[in-house]
Structure 1
Amino acid sequence: MDLVLIRHPEVVVDAGVCYGQSDVALARDVRESALDIQARMKKLGVPACIDGWHASPLLRCASLARALGEARIDARLSEMHFGAWEGRAWNDIDRALIDAWAADIEHARAHGGESLAQFSERVIGWFDDTCADASRAVHVVAHAGVMRVLAAHVLGIERASVLRWALDFGAVVQLRRSDAGWSVVRWNA
């Protein structure tokens, strides 16, 4: 079984702004982005989507999923909620609050939104319900945070380490489950 994760394309948000669950628009036409992603997936030999695209309800993911085919919208695939930090520039947030959050990345909620542990529980709940018995590829249009949580979960590694892995807008990630366990087929392709 393959888990194919596509990060949403670039959004209309200034660099350095925390936008987590803020519903922001895509920077370019979603149909063009879908065609680019389909061509890249074909070139990479990524399994075709048969059962529809699972996606966050946020516009940047849901609109791409619809452009790629049938969309299966699930709120559990939404990005992490950053509470009072949503829509604010990271440089405008009190540095002491960011440091407190970073000191306990799993459980701190200095912003009043979700902790990484709460966010991960939600995303892993989707995974357990959707992928536990899947025999075919599961395709997801997601946010960087969701993709990193899923990768850490299936690979059995610390979430904090995966937070540092590069993940571009529109990136393709393919994870594969075999008798030996999960492995990365491609990351940030």
Structure 2
Amino acid sequence: MDIVLIRHPAVAVDAGICYGYSDVALADDPAASAAAIAMRLATLQVPQPRVLLSSPLTRCATVAAALAGDFGCAHSIDERLKEMNFGAWELQRWDAIDRASLDGWAANFEHAREHGGESVAQFVHRVEAWLDAFAQTRELSPAYVVTHAGVIRVIAALVLDVPVERALQWSVDMSAMVWLRRDAVRQQWSLVRWNA
């Protein structure tokens, strides 16, 4: 089973803004962004998808729909593929958020909800529910999933059996791809490419 996780392209939001769960626009045309992603994936010899899955947020869904059109496959949206909900911090500058609130979040990273949105544990649980359901559908492989950096890192942590806190520090560039493969016999996942 192959799953190719693709981070959405750059967004029309200033640097330093928290925009996790918020529905923000892409900086560039979705069709042009999808074409560039498809070209890079072909160069890397990534197998073409049987299905395109995505977060419902515009920055993912529009690119996934364009890719699905290019590849002639189905596109479906899943709420569980949204980025983490940062509650009151959404669309705020990170450097303008109360320092005590950030410190409180860091002190209890897994369970704190200083912002009133999701805790990291809740976010991981949501993404894991999606992954468990997806893993039961072998006929969808290979699948491309257009989603967010946080979701990509959590999926990688879960399948590669590394601590989520560690994986959340791994780089995932805009429009980058992470290719994961599960061996059908041993039922073990491996990393084919990271941040390509």
Identify whether the pair has TM-score above 0.5, normalized to the shorter chain. Answer: yes
Q: Secondary structure at the match of 1:167?
A: coil
Q: Does 1:63 align with 2:59?
A: no
2:82 to 61, 78, 101: 78
Which amino acid in structure 2 is aligned with residue 184 of structure 1? Answer: L
Q: Partner of 2:71 in structure 1? A: none
Q: What stretches of structure 1 move > 6 A for 4+ residues in a row?
A: none
Q: Partner of 2:168 in structure 1? A: 163
Q: Does 1:137 align with 2:142?
A: yes
Which amino acid in structure 1 is aligned with residue 175 of structure 2? Answer: G
CA distance in 2, matches of 1:80, 1:182: 24
Q: Does 1:36 align with 2:74?
A: no
Q: Partner of 1:20 in structure 2? A: 20
Structure 1 residue 163, shift from structure 2 partner: 0.9
CA distance in 2, matches of 1:154, 1:77: 16
**Aligned pairs (5 A) from 1:164-183:** 164-178=169-183, 179=186, 181-183=188-190
Question: So what's the TM-score if we normalise by structure 1?
Answer: 0.96
Which amino acid in structure 2 is aligned with residue 186 of structure 1? Answer: R
Which amino acid in structure 2 is aligned with residue 31 of structure 1? Answer: A
Contact kept in structure 2, 1:6 and 1:142, CA below 8 Å: yes
CA distance in 2, matches of 1:106, 1:2: 29
Please tell me the root mean square deviation across aligned C-alpha atoms, in Å.
1.1
Structure 1 residue 132, shift from structure 2 partner: 2.9
CA distance in 2, matches of 1:99, 1:151: 26
Q: Does 1:104 align with 2:111?
A: no
Structure 1 residue 180, shift from structure 2 partner: 6.5
Structure 1 residue 188, shift from structure 2 partner: 0.5
Structure 1 residue 3, shift from structure 2 partner: 1.3
CA distance in 1, matches of 2:130, 2:158: 12
Q: Does 1:118 align with 2:122?
A: yes
CA distance in 2, matches of 1:139, 1:127: 13
1:81-108: CA deviation from partner (whole Å, max 9, x where unpaired): 0000000000000111111111221111
Structure 1 residue 138, shift from structure 2 partner: 2.2
Contact kept in structure 2, 1:56 and 1:142, CA below 8 Å: yes
Q: Secondary structure at the match of 1:45?
A: coil
Which amino acid in structure 2 is aligned with residue 140 of structure 1? Answer: V
**Stretches of structure 2 lacking an aligned partner (at least 5 in a row):** 69-73
Q: Does 1:186 align with 2:193?
A: yes
2:156 to 151, 157, 161: 151
The total of aligned residue pairs comes to: 188
CA distance in 1, matches of 2:173, 2:120: 21
CA distance in 2, matches of 1:168, 1:78: 17
Which amino acid in structure 2 is aligned with residue 98 of structure 1? Answer: L
**Aligned pairs (5 A) from 1:42-53:** 42-50=42-50, 52-53=51-52
